[in-house]
Chains A and B, each alone.
Chain A
Amino acid sequence: MNDDELKRTIGKLQTDYAEQLPGTVAQMEDLWRRLVAAQIPPSRLADLARMAHSITGSGATFGLPEASRAARDLELFLDKLKASGELPRPAEQTTVSALLAALRQAAVPT
């Protein structure tokens, strides 16, 4: 694979990533809604943190640095919450919802 082919391949991967990211964030928001509604156990907060962690580590590499930053903010907050093993309190729920909204905005390429 020469440089031009590699650039094209990376460009395609970047596009694919940007296209699927809003869907991933929508899944995270759905997971969060179900957590708050107690439809799933609080332990699933770890899944949400893992998803945030994944975007933290990949967003900027695929040209979406704001997504990485927003995901890191969310991940750090969730890391604190998941240690308690309980459903977040109302104030914490508000913060998570706001951080998720920020991530949703950052997931849209500018």
Chain B
Amino acid sequence: MSDRNHRAILEEDVFTLTDKAQNELRGSGTSLAPSALEVLVLIDGMSTVGETAARVRTIDKGAVLNILENLLYDGLIDFVKDQAGSLDFVDFFQSRGPVEPSMEATAKARKETAATTALLQQQGYFVSIARRARARKKSEATRMLSVLVVEDEPSLANLLKHVLTSEGFDVRIAQNRDEIVAEFRRPQHLDLVLLDVVLPDVDGFLVLLKIRQHPELKTLPVVMLTAKATRDAVLKGLAGGADGYITKPFEIEVLIKAVNAVLGLSEAGRAAGSNKDLWP
């Protein structure tokens, strides 16, 4: 059993059945107690421990936890990992680590945001592209590029979904902390996160820092898309490792250009032109 299996089981944990459990369930007889069997058949690789416990009617949550510990010890269940086999999103918001960007990152970001205030006053929005991917055409991609839009304003989320979908992206939406974690748990690959800052139950800057600290997600491009339009906020985002920063309210054409820039997509490779006027 690996070291990770020695840690206490949390309500947020998600388990999957092992081959041993599959064989146990397929076999004609089982040595498991009825209560253990009842818990085992509810393990689906998606539900959290809390959700699973809520579905078990015959025993209380404490007993379910004990059963899960035994099932884990017996090698019948294992913690869910992503397709790379090394992600553990249970700790996404709990892991320790620096919560402030390095001085070097802050100094670099300070340079990048020098023009923020003037641009905000001049054009009403500010766009900063801190990092661009290697130039490529969208047609080079062997699959549709995926964008996770973290946005709690339903109208904006809907608008972004339509616009980015029309640009040829696969778009997913998360409106709060649980939905963010759920999206990161999904096995499908993500190519970009558009991240709001003011969310109902979590700060977008914290999400950014957690992404940058995560071993598998740290290189995932993140563009902050937020009405936090002060120079300090822009500085915080870029110093925290955002690849771009777009202030709200934004113009759709500007947003598309920024997304393409961060992903390194060339003008010719886009599904639609960025200079067109999308307003009716």
CB within 8 Å of B: which residues of A? 1, 3, 6-11, 13-14, 16-17, 20, 50, 53-54, 56-63, 65, 68, 72
Given A7-B279, A53-B227, A57-B226, residue A13 in contact with residue B155 (CB < 8 A): yes
Q: Is B276 an interface residue (CB 8 A)?
A: yes
Most buried by A among B155, B159, B200, B249: B249
Report if B124 contacts A (CB, 8 A): yes
- Which residues of the other chain, B, contact A20 by a CB distance below 8 angstroms? 155
Known: A10-B278, A56-B249. 8 other contacts (CB 8 A): A11-B280, A13-B158, A16-B155, A50-B198, A50-B200, A54-B153, A57-B248, A61-B251
Does B276 contact A10, Cβ atoms closer than 8 Å?
no
State the interface size on chain B (CB cutoff 8 A): 26
Residue B162 CB within 8 A of the other chain: yes
Pick the contact of B156: A7, A8, A58, A68 (CB < 8 A). A58
CA distance A14 to B198 in the complex (A): 22
A-B contacts counted at CB < 8 A amount to 74
B93 to chain A, nearest CB (A): 20
When chains A and B are docked, how far (Å) is the Cα of A57 from the Cα of B162? 18
Evaluate contact between B162 and A10: CB separation under 8 angstroms.
yes
Shortest C-beta distance, B1 to chain A (Å), equals 45
The reply on B79 being an interface residue by CB < 8 A is: no
Q: List B contacts of A54 (CB < 8 A).
A: 152-153, 198, 227
- Among residues of A, the one whose C-beta sits closest to the C-beta of B280 is A11
| A7:B165 contact, CB within 8 angstroms | no
Contact between B279 and A63 (Cβ–Cβ < 8 Å)?
A: yes
Binding site for A on B (CB under 8 A): 124, 152-153, 155-156, 158-159, 162-163, 165-166, 196, 198, 200, 226-227, 248-252, 272, 276, 278-280
Least CB distance, B230 to chain A, in whole angstroms? 10
Interface of B: prevailing SS: loop
Give the nearest-CB partner of B196 in chain A: A57
A interface, over-half SS: helix
10 sample A-B contacts, Cβ–Cβ < 8 Å, listed by A number: A13-B158, A13-B162, A56-B249, A57-B226, A57-B227, A58-B248, A60-B124, A61-B156, A62-B155, A63-B279
> When the two chains form their complex, are residues B276 and A3 in contact, meaning their CB atoms are under 8 A apart?
yes
Whole-angstrom CA separation of A16 from B251 in the bound complex: 18
